[in-house]
Structure 1
Amino acid sequence: MHPHSSLQKSQQRQQQASPENWQQTFRQMALFDLASDMELGFFLAYYRNFAIPSIAETLARNGEISDRPMKRSYDTGIVIYELIASGLDSDRGQQMISLLNRVHRHVPGTTEDFLYVLLTLLVVPIRWIRKHGWRQPTEMEIAAATRFFAGLGHRMHIDSVPGTFDEAAEFFDSYEVRNVAASIPGVALMDATVQVLQDRLPKPLRPVTRLMISAMLDDGRLTTALGLPRAYRWTRTALNAGLSLRNAIRRRRPLSKEPHFSPGSAGSSVYPHGYSSRDIGPINVMSGPTPAGHELR
């Protein structure tokens, strides 16, 4: 099949997807069509939490990020991708939601704080894709992503999750205007986790990882709050040129038949031989109950 045929068929399928098939539509978007950009968006969403002093203080007090930055970052990604790949109401999905609820049971914070953390995972990747993706997300993809995170929020007992992407973005922006600020814990968390993205960049870019993060965030408020260097014009130009080249190449290749993530599989320095449900999460909750016969592999 010609590369363009593969890409066009997938895009057409995503444009014409039924609203009732929202989980499959989002799965196709996150694991195949726009997988690399969704992953970058999730990275940037993760960092963004450190720019909220109250959230940063809670995360720093927990100690997981500073003590085990690689594990915490990969576990966060694994939980989200498990939910996307398997479905919110699947056995694996229920295990992940149970883990999330155990982890957050005694975490201090307002309803707005929890809602903001949830919506970073929706708003940041969609905005990144709109600006830098090899193609624009379809309206059905955006609606499916919104419904996915609304469903996740409901299962985590987070009230008043917006029903549309525009409403989610409006809340997200308003919350950041009121809450983004520099803090000692936020800067320390950022410093501890720079290595996570650094390890995934090509070697020539690793010495300028912090500058690249600043360019990707493209927001002076955030770079100041996180203690990152302000992005230079050449940094943003280099980033945009690199992404444009990547997108041009991407459009000339067929859509991958292998998903970006496979539940339980190896593929990181943290879990080189794969993982089970008992490996995921903070040390003090990893041994939480797992339904009989439903161990992750």
Structure 2
Amino acid sequence: MKRFDLRDEIHRLDAEADCVRIVQILTSQEFPWDMGRALGVALYRTYAVPSIGELLGRTDEFTGRTQKRYDDTALILNNMMRYGFGPGQGRDALRRMNQMHRSYDISNDDYLYVLSTFVVMPVRWINDRGYGWRRLSDHEVAAITHYYRKLGRYMGIKEIPETYEEFRHLMDSYEAEHFAYTDGGRAVSDATLDLMVTFYPDRVSGLARKFSMAILDESLIETFRYDPPSKAWRKGADLALKLRAKVVRRMRPREEPLWADQNPNIRSYPGGYDVNRIGTFPASCPVAHDVDPVGHEELYGGETAPAERAERAEASADGAV
């Protein structure tokens, strides 16, 4: 396989109809490390929104059992990407995620914001910051957008943006309006950063913490009231990531997909896991468990549009990808 064969394969696919396959290639072969970092930063950003950070802080899941919550989130998202939304493990992961989310009073606006971070942050990491070994094309950005639009519909989110530019505007404007310090958000942020440094040997844990802080943008540093990283650390982290991109560009393409359950930082399930049994199970959960989220109107909050019904009807095809 040549270095750009996977890119060429992506461009032979349809950005909307084949969005699951395109995201599979981007996530597991073309940019596995970058996508992991970008989606990690995407989730981290949400702690700076008071309604989200305080909720996560109150549950104690992201502060008291940080490793397990990290693992569960990665595995659930990974199963949807790996298997699509058709019957099987991908749909099981979607059902599990919907069950957890619907145990809490989360606004549609917050759902939209979180979804927007998943669309925007990979593009910002790879293209805008220049940390990818190559740029994402407009075709690939469109596929990422279509993938998360599809996921958003299966989550029952309303008024989902149609284009990447609309998602970017939504994310930036929501952060400008809502980012604010809360004790809960800061606690979740601290716990997450503490977990991140355990992924490195003890002898470099202090440097890893400084590096992690150096790649956070100023809005996050200010919101969480951290001491700002020095200019030297900012520049050093930026150069290191761009140097890594140049090295990866000269490496052979990854022929075998790399998925989250192969990541040594996923530590909670050394003997394997059942996606139906991971995550949280609040005692007051109002959702009927073992309900198919792709085929039941009650998980969409009411009547759906014909286009969305047709979208769900096509979900079985995704499972065959």
TM-score by length of 2: 0.82
Match of 2:234 in 1: 236
Match of 2:218 in 1: 220
Paired residue total? 286
Report the aligned-residue RMSD: 2.3
Change (3 A) 1:236 1:204: farther
- 2:278 equivalent to 1:280: yes
**Separation in 1 of the partners of 2:5 and 2:203?**
36
Equivalent position SS for 2:160: coil
Q: Which moved more, 1:166-175 or 1:264-273?
A: 264-273
Q: What displacement does 1:137 show?
A: 0.7
Query: Which residue, out of 65, 68, 82, partners 1:68?
Result: 65
**Separation in 2 of the partners of 1:10 and 1:106?**
40
Query: Which residue, out of 38, 48, 69, partners 1:41?
Result: 38
**Separation in 1 of the partners of 2:251 and 2:64?**
40
- 2:91 equivalent to 1:94: yes
Match of 2:48 in 1: 51
Match of 1:169 in 2: 168
Equivalent position SS for 2:215: helix
Whether the 8 Å CA contact 1:266–1:274 is kept in 2: the answer is no
Whether the 8 Å CA contact 1:214–1:229 is kept in 2: the answer is no
The AA in structure 2 aligned to 1:223 is: I
TM-score by length of 1: 0.88
- Structure 1's unaligned 5+ residue stretches are 293-297
The AA in structure 2 aligned to 1:12 is: D
Q: What displacement does 1:249 show?
A: 1.8
Q: Which moved more, 1:161-170 or 1:268-277?
A: 268-277
**Separation in 2 of the partners of 1:167 and 1:179?**
18
**Separation in 2 of the partners of 1:126 and 1:72?**
25
Any idea what the Cα deviations from partners look like across 1:183-226, whole Å, max 9, x if unmatched?
11111111111133212346554213343223222x22211212
The AA in structure 2 aligned to 1:106 is: S
- 2:146 equivalent to 1:147: yes
Whether the 8 Å CA contact 1:50–1:226 is kept in 2: the answer is no
Query: Which residue, out of 2, 7, 15, partners 2:3?
Result: 7
Change (3 A) 1:202 1:247: farther
**Separation in 2 of the partners of 1:198 and 1:62?**
23
Match of 2:308 in 1: none
Equivalent position SS for 1:75: helix
Q: Which moved more, 1:166-175 or 1:11-20?
A: 11-20
Q: Which runs of 4+ in 1 moved over 3 A?
A: 201-205, 264-267, 283-286, 288-292
The AA in structure 1 aligned to 2:143 is: A
Any idea what the Cα deviations from partners look like across 1:156-208, whole Å, max 9, x if unmatched?
10001111111100111010000011111111111111133212346554213
Whether the 8 Å CA contact 2:47–2:188 is kept in 1: the answer is yes
Change (3 A) 1:50 1:32: same
Q: What displacement does 1:8 show?
A: 1.7
Match of 2:195 in 1: 196
Equivalent position SS for 2:4: helix
**Separation in 1 of the partners of 2:135 and 2:218?**
25
The AA in structure 1 aligned to 2:154 is: R
Of structures 1 and 2, the one with the larger relative CO (CA 8 A, separation 6+) is 2
Q: Percent identity?
A: 28
Q: What displacement does 1:83 show?
A: 0.6
- Structure 2's unaligned 5+ residue stretches are 293-321
